[in-house]
Amino acid sequence: MKIGIIGSGAMGTGIAQVAATAGNEAVIYDTNPAALEKAKSQLHATLNKLAEKGKISLTDAGHIFGRIFFGSSIHSFADCNIIVEAIVEDLAVKQKVFQDIEAVVSPHCILATNTSSLSIASIAASCQKPGRVIGIHFFNPVPLMSLVEIIPAIQTEKQVTEKAIEWVAFLKKDGVLAKDTPGFIVNRVARPYYGEAIRIMEEGIADCATIDHAMKEIGGFKMGPFALMDFIGADVNYRVTESVWQQFFYEPKFKPSFSQKRLFEAGYFGRKSGKGFYDYAEGAVQPQASPDTTLANEIFNRIIIMLINEAADAVMFQIGTAQAIDVAMTKGVNYPKGLLRWADEMGIASVVKAMDDLYDLYREDRYRCSALLRKMARENKTFY
Ligand SMILES: NC(=O)c1ccc[n+]([C@@H]2O[C@H](COP(=O)([O-])OP(=O)(O)OC[C@H]3O[C@@H](n4cnc5c(N)ncnc54)[C@H](O)[C@@H]3O)[C@@H](O)[C@H]2O)c1
């Protein structure tokens, strides 16, 4: 099978590596020749490094690199079976590229987009054959993250979805089906990890260091929310938050915070700019986490309950199955445990009570308990 990849940035390069490693031929093309040249030397260096470390043999590294071709125009995609688009996140630009590609490829070629935030239906709508368009959403860095969200649009033909599932399995990735709604699974369900942490900080209940400490030590998360937001960058994380909120017709539970907006406006993008929620300047004094374990437990409970509530809502609205959502959060953002498995362990009734306590206190829509959890508690049901 031959895979065409358009856009040789971070994602396109990773997708080419993974496809060629699995045994596909991969053609990669970028309108910017410098980006294509960079992808070529990067792929070469990465494969050699893997061989040096003994992860693959030198012969395999050569074979994998030999299966990657660097196209000179979109005409290089003529005999591809699947095209994966990984260009700039701009609907109009993507629509134009899909139209151009459609004029080049065979009628059976699948057209996939790696978009993180645009609707697949709106990209498909620009094509002559919208039924062949689907979302195949990889995570960064592609060779290391095993999750792939597969997102059929309402126009997508059933056999296109089936072929996409087959291809993702061939890549030895964990594919999950997600509904074409803002943020798909991961970028929706993860929102409270950031949003609720900021809310706790804004209310003065605890500072960044204490909240990060609670999520790491009690929850077992690899990175606390503030360290993670600084790693992702306020530019990216704030934009995603705002976009999900707007696309959900200004749903209050996804409302962005002023703290993050101000960081974004100030250019305090986190690690990459030297300052974010934390100060990364050399010698900067880092805040110390409070040793209060009761407080740490309260923080962890509040954030995990909000995450579980969002995951349950995503099940209720059939964004994904409970299993798909648990795979998505453990493989896409390295959560230590699936949120719905966590819900079962904590007890659905106690999750409902904790949400109702938050709602009673704040009387904000943001804290409404998922109807699915309430129904399950009444019926004494569990997710697994
Ligand atoms: N970076 C991430 O963490 C991540 C994760 C998942 C999905 N995505 C999505 O993947 C896509 C690509 O992201 P990225 O981070 O690799 O971007 P990037 O900026 O690293 O690379 C994009 C590349 O596309 C090229 N390009 C732009 N317009 C083009 C065109 N018309 N034809 C051909 N090439 C064109 C650019 O020259 C650039 O090299 C976006 O839709 C993004 O939302 C990104």
Q: What is the pLDDT of residues 78-105, one digit of tens each?
A: 999 999 999 999 999 999 999 999 999 9
133 plus 241 within the same structural domain: no
Q: How far is C-alpha 196 from the geometric centre of its chain's CA atoms?
A: 18
60 plus 124 within the same structural domain: yes
131 plus 251 within the same structural domain: no
The residues assigned a catalytic role are 116, 137, 149, 187
Going by pLDDT thresholds of 50, 70 and 90, the confidence category of residue 66 is: very high
Number of domains in the chain: 2
Q: What is the pLDDT of residue 317?
A: 98
Which residues lie with the beta carbon below 6 Å from any ligand 1 atom?
6-12, 30-32, 35, 86-89, 93, 97, 114-116, 138-140
We report the CATH number of the domain holding residue 374 as 1.10.1040.50
The ligand 1 atom nearest the CA atom of 89: 41
Residue 275 DSSP symbol: B
55 plus 164 within the same structural domain: yes
E-assigned strand segments in the chain = 2-6, 25-29, 68-70, 82-85, 110-113, 133-138, 147-152, 174-177
Average pLDDT over residues 254-263: 96
201 plus 305 within the same structural domain: yes
Please give the share of the chain, as a percent, with pLDDT higher than 70: 100
Which region among 42-56, 132-146, 230-244, 254-268 has the lowest average model confidence (pLDDT)? 230-244
Protein residue with least CA distance to atom 7, ligand 1: 116
Q: How far is the CA of 61 from the centre of ligand 1 (A)?
A: 25
Going by pLDDT thresholds of 50, 70 and 90, the confidence category of residue 282 is: very high
The ligand 1 atom nearest the CA atom of 140: 3
In a domain, 223, yes or no: yes
Q: What is the pLDDT of residue 292?
A: 97
Which residue, 142, 158, 177, sits at the end of a domain? 177
The ligand 1 atom nearest the CA atom of 10: 16
216 plus 285 within the same structural domain: yes
Cβ neighbors of 251 (< 8 A, separation 6 or more) are 245
Q: What is the pLDDT of residue 77?
A: 98
We report the CATH number of the domain holding residue 158 as 3.40.50.720
Which residue, 150, 177, 204, sits at the end of a domain? 177
Q: What is the pLDDT of residue 80?
A: 98
The span from the CA of 303 to the CA of 194, in Å, is 9
In a domain, 182, yes or no: no
167 plus 206 within the same structural domain: no
Q: How far is the CA of 114 from the centre of ligand 1 (A)?
A: 9
Q: Which residue from 113, 197, 123 is spatially nearest to 149, judged by alpha carbons?
A: 113
Going by pLDDT thresholds of 50, 70 and 90, the confidence category of residue 274 is: very high
196 plus 327 within the same structural domain: yes
Q: How far is the CA of 97 from the centre of ligand 1 (A)?
A: 13
In a domain, 171, yes or no: yes
In a domain, 51, yes or no: yes
Please give the share of the chain, as a percent, with pLDDT higher than 90: 98
Q: How far is the CA of 127 from the centre of ligand 1 (A)?
A: 20
Going by pLDDT thresholds of 50, 70 and 90, the confidence category of residue 158 is: very high
139 plus 83 within the same structural domain: yes
In a domain, 383, yes or no: no
236 plus 334 within the same structural domain: yes
Q: What is the pLDDT of residue 378?
A: 98
Average pLDDT over residues 166-181: 98
Going by pLDDT thresholds of 50, 70 and 90, the confidence category of residue 108 is: very high
Q: What is the pLDDT of residue 349?
A: 98
Q: What is the pLDDT of residue 248?
A: 96
Q: What is the pLDDT of residue 224?
A: 98
In a domain, 291, yes or no: yes
Task: Find the length of the chain.
Answer: 384
**Residue 112: strand pairing partners:** 84, 134
Q: Look up the domain containing 260 and give its range.
A: 188-378
What CA dihedral angle connects 41, 47, 49 and 54, to 10 degrees?
A: -170
40 plus 73 within the same structural domain: yes
Q: What is the pLDDT of residue 106?
A: 96
Q: Are 177 and 152 in contact (CB under 8 A)?
A: yes
In a domain, 183, yes or no: no
What pTM, to 2 d.p., does this model score? 0.95
- Please tell me whether residue 141 adopts helix, strand or coil conformation: coil
The span from the CA of 213 to the CA of 72, in Å, is 50
Ligand 1: residue of 28, 30, 185 to mutate (most ligand atoms within 8 A of CB) is 30
In a domain, 384, yes or no: no
Q: How far is the CA of 79 from the centre of ligand 1 (A)?
A: 23
Cβ neighbors of 42 (< 8 A, separation 6 or more) are 13
235 plus 163 within the same structural domain: no
